[in-house]
Structure 1
């Protein structure tokens, strides 16, 4: 599918860029929110981890995450293909979910949600996680959990998408996935030291 500049809706494009910026602002806001809920010695690490989630997921998203999560050419109902790895053919080719917006703008918008999601889950592990293992966890979790769920719900060939599931605000791919990840953190890590005593 090729488009010309005349096929692009500039108003929708500007709005999607502005929406991407607003979701981007949620990431430091989330870090500061979590930082205010923990003891002062752990506040900086939570803010740092939220920013690291942005960096790690953006790198993963550009290399292969976007293609796994939102590939419109994959025939598998569970995961995308590598057609758009390194953002190949993403520039102006619009995604079927946003047919009047350049593909790279839609990819940016979805990248911000992908980066926010592990940040939400980190709150379930506050004061019990180390930085380097968590950075590795963010990369692996985004690849093995977030990307497939996003594909199921938002990609044209995803099995939930084909069933007619509508997930405009990210209830499945963002909130449910991060909520269950935070719950898994709790079960694996247990209560924080000093819980109920301070």
Structure 2
């Protein structure tokens, strides 16, 4: 048995708990942006995902992502039911911490990815369809992509793709899949009347996401070292830069700087720096954050309107687009001066790395689009995907769960008294 580091183990244990907190933070972030008649159903998407994926990961998910390699595509079944995953380190992934701790750290990533997708289909997806979709998507999309990028033998890992903490694995895969779901399920009714019902709730979610993201990115060094500290700094720097750039872009275009705009920018910056956090300098993180805030602002406020899709809470606009920019930026700004285990990017004399990043992005897009569409069509064979018009008008809190978030629902016409 290799020698455990108490320092590294304590550090990663703390990071794991921080990443776990991100999903409740996401629940707050999302639920404040929907109408009050859907606040509990939106919250349920994040919390129930924690339940589903926690079981799936133990039984089969972890081994599909990190088990012995099959042709660079999927992990083997050697860790099925966590067989052999105990206190002894696994030198293939982290030589100084318990294998079981590494498994739990990765579980938190597997949880938040499908939870992010729920922002695309909020306010109209049937709860039964959500349950089946979450299980199938995690197994058939998240686990294989995680193996491609992070698993020993994974084809994108062998190609040299850099994804420090989940730009491809978490954000691009979930954001692109969210767009597919939004297109297949269709638009919500009465879009003109939809406004966020509780922005303080959303801003509290932003704070928890920002806080938890330090575990997400800095923890991905898997040890308390110089790379972890760099990731800690770049994460905060990019979030700050993106929050400001989104806010100022909005101020210039719409004449008002909004709390939702700044908060959305912070999240966009956190997404954008995720694949790059352990490979770029703090100054580069400023540029990545500034770009992420502006790019995601225009994606959310103009591209969505131009193409007419209803990505309800901007899962694609922030995570798909932000993750794409972050993966490209990694190919531009990465430097071995920060992380000798990484690579130099275009701006440090290595244009090949940018090409590798683009290939990894394209592969993730294609697979996530096709696999998600197939999953949705399969589910449609056994159940409806979206609520009926009457259920949507009443609100999913009542129609799907038989409860309300704020006292007793009072109906006023088809939309419901608490629906605005």
Please name the residue that 1:83 is paired with: 78
Q: Distance in 1 between matches of 2:25 and 2:184?
A: 26
Which of the numbers 8, 12, 20 marks the counterpart of 1:16?
12
Task: Find out whether 1:54 has 2:50 as its counterpart.
Answer: yes
Give a deviation string over 1:43-95, Cα, whole Å, max 9, x none: 10111110111110010000010000011x22421001110011011112423
Structure-to-structure mapping, 1:1-198, within 5 angstroms: 3-4=1-2, 7-71=3-67, 73-95=68-90, 96-198=92-194
The CA deviation at 1:177 is: 0.6
CA RMSD of aligned residues (A): 1.1
Runs of 5+ consecutive residues of structure 2 not aligned to the other structure: 195-420
Distance 1:65 1:93 in 2: 20
**Following the alignment from structure 1 to structure 2, what is the Cα–Cα distance between the partners of residues 31 and 139?**
18
- Alpha-carbon distance in structure 2 between the residues aligned to 1:192 and 1:157: 43
Mapped partners of 1:59, 1:67: distance in 2: 13
Choose between structure 1 and 2 for higher RCO, CA contacts under 8 A separated by at least 6 residues. 1
1:138 CA displacement: 0.4
Higher mean displacement: 163-172 or 145-154 = 163-172
**Aligned equivalents of 1:10, 1:47: Cα separation in 2:** 36
- Extract structure 1 runs of 4+ deviating beyond 4 A: none
Calculate the TM-score normalised by the size of structure 2. Answer: 0.45
The count of residues paired between Structure 1 and Structure 2 equals 193
How far is 1:165 from its partner?
1.4
SS at match of 2:179: helix
